[in-house]
Amino acid sequence: MASHRKPRTRTVGPRTAPVAGITTAALTSIALLSQTATAAPSAPPKPSLEEVQKKVDTLYHQAGVATEKYNAAKERTTKQQKRVGELLDDVAQRTEKLNKARQELGTFAAAQYRTGAVSDTATLLLADDAQDYFDQDQLMSRLTSRQKQAVDDYQTEQAATTKKRTEAAKSLETLTTSQATLKSTKRDVQQKLGDARELLSKLTAEEKARLAAIEKRKQEAARKKAEELARQQAEAEAKRKAAEEARQKENPGTGTGSGTGTGSGSGYATKAAKVIAFAESQMGKPYVWGATGPDSYDCSGLTQAAWKAAGITLPRTTWDQVKVGTTVTTADAKPGDLVFFYDDISHVGIYIGDGKMIHAPKPGANVRVESIYYMPIHSVVRPA
């Protein structure tokens, strides 16, 4: 059956305007978003290689300072652990003595309880004879004196044990603090070294090559300064020998002398030769922070081990090593002397002559020979 509905007429005009309006709004939104994106802050510019080099050097320096703090904290912790152990052993021994003294007092108390408190008159009357009484009285006098001594011993041990227990408790508190410092400085070292590695890892192969060229120029400048110092020292030594020879001609029988300056005699030279021989035998071994050998070293660990080979015991850290011996000028430096660097005295090397030293430089490097002018010099110390 056919439909009687009137067909609808499609109207195109009225729907055109809303579509156009939506399109305009969308375009406007896109434009605004584009403007917002353009206004957003751009990424910071990539640092120059010189800035990267400076930052890495600073991080290594800071890691060196933190390493010396770690070494100091580790040394304190080791000493305190030993001290706490000794105190606890002492407390245990004193406690044992105290228990023995307490047992002896208990024996006297039990004896007194069994005999009871009997008067001297009653004892005399109950005695078989007078001599027996006087013998017992003398024994009681000795027993009373011995008892008094036992009481005195107990009181002395009790006071000493209490004192040692208090001392041990304080040492344990100090040890806990030192262990916390040890952990904190260890984290600090690891953080600095991690930051340095991250910076270097972001460099391209070309940038690393350019960075190596910057390092080479720095080493070359330091080498030239070392050569100049060697020239000056050679001239000074030649003048000293000439003056000595002139003295010998004027006064033949006065001996050849033993050199000039503190610790510059044959005794020091012999020790220094052993120090340098040891340091040379360690060349090529890696720098590891906190290490004292024999497979790896940090800077002060190497100097400590080298001088130990010559029979001289140095402290563990650069801050303590710089205080041992006599300070001399850089111009007067002799083989075996310790050269300290930076205002904070966070690095040290062993002078071998001609403006050079053997040292454990930094993470990623091995024990090597280098100009003492590679870093800013703080002081030169002659340990023995």
Which among 4, 61, 299, 378 is annotated as catalytic? Answer: 299
Q: With 70 as the cut, is the pLDDT of residue 208 above it?
A: yes
Which among 4, 61, 347, 378 is annotated as catalytic? Answer: 347
Is 344 in contact with 332 (CB distance < 8 Å)? no
Query: How large is the average pLDDT for residues 195-206?
Result: 89
Query: Is 359 designated active site?
Result: yes
Which among 4, 61, 359, 378 is annotated as catalytic? Answer: 359
Helix, strand, coil percentages, rounded to 5, for the chain: 65, 10, 25
Query: How large is the average pLDDT for residues 87-100?
Result: 81
Query: How large is the average pLDDT for residues 2-26?
Result: 47
Is residue 336 very low, low, confident or very high in pLDDT (cuts 50, 70, 90)? very high
Q: How many Å apart are CA 237 and CA 178, to the nearest integer? A: 49
Residue 378 contacts by C-beta under 8 Å, 6 or more apart in sequence?
322, 340, 341, 342, 343, 345
| pLDDT confidence of residue 172 | 81
Strand partners, 382: 326
Q: With 80 as the cut, is the pLDDT of residue 129 above it?
A: no
| Rounded percentage of the chain residues whose pLDDT exceeds 70 | 73
Query: Is 299 designated active site?
Result: yes
> 353: closest CA among 378, 375, 330?
330
